[in-house]
Chain A
Amino acid sequence: MTQAQRKLLQSVVRDGLKIQNRFSAAPVYGVTGKGHLKSEGVDTLQKIKRNLKRRRATGVA
């Protein structure tokens, strides 16, 4: 594995672990043909929007 791939792997695994609780470990999609993903709700998006708003406000001030 190249240096770039190792760095990329760290980034992929970091995000993968963050969302791991939303996935079933077992191969549900392969067996049933129906995927499974727990909803993450709107909290993350709201947090991002709040941060963007704050950053914009700070930039103007």
Chain B
Amino acid sequence: MQRAWLELFDWEFVISTNAALCQPKKALHKPTSDGHVRARQLWEANHRREMFLDEAADLCRECHRLAPFCNFNGNTFAAIARNLVHSLKLKADQAHVIRTLLGHVVAGTASEVETKELSAFSRGLRQEQLKKHS
């Protein structure tokens, strides 16, 4: 099932997430000179698009790799991707597994098996597995 998983997460949202995650560690929250523009363009061109869940994770991974911010890029995009699980009707243990898979994919540490597992799960999702008002 494809849907606009990242529709609500506009670039302003991404910036606010990174700012909030940098603040407790007093880490510098600032756009990078090389990655910020490219990541923003990639995000804005795609985040409203209907896609499979694993494609949404891959967009987050790609933006993480482009490093739009000086600090906590992985933390920012992984937190966004992991949040997508909230819109699914899953048992707690299954939700944990999917959240973990999403985190690994976005962090760029997922094995081939984990990537395939997330892809299979994403493509097998049905409309009835979505929570209402999500």
Contact = CB atoms under 8 A, between A and B. Distances in A.
Interface of A: 1-2, 4-5, 8-9, 11-13, 15-17, 19-20, 23-31, 33-37, 40, 44-45, 48-49, 51-52
Interface of A is mostly: helix
Contacts, number: 113
A24 B83 contact: no
Interface in B96-125: 96-97, 100, 103-104, 107-109
A30 B32 CA distance: 11
Interface of B is mostly: helix
B82 interface: yes
B91 interface: yes
Contact of B108 (A15, A29, A45): A29
Contacts of B27: 25
A37 B107 contact: yes
B92 A52 contact: yes
A44 to B, nearest CB: 6
A40 B10 CA distance: 29
A57 B105 CA distance: 35
12 contacts: A5-B13, A9-B16, A12-B83, A13-B79, A15-B83, A16-B76, A19-B78, A23-B107, A29-B73, A30-B64, A40-B100, A52-B92
Contacts of A1: 12-13, 16
Nearest to B39: A30
B80 interface: yes
B83 A8 contact: yes
A15 B82 contact: yes
A12 B13 CA distance: 10
A9 B18 CA distance: 10
A29 B74 contact: yes
Given A13-B79, A20-B25, A23-B107, A29 B67 contact: yes
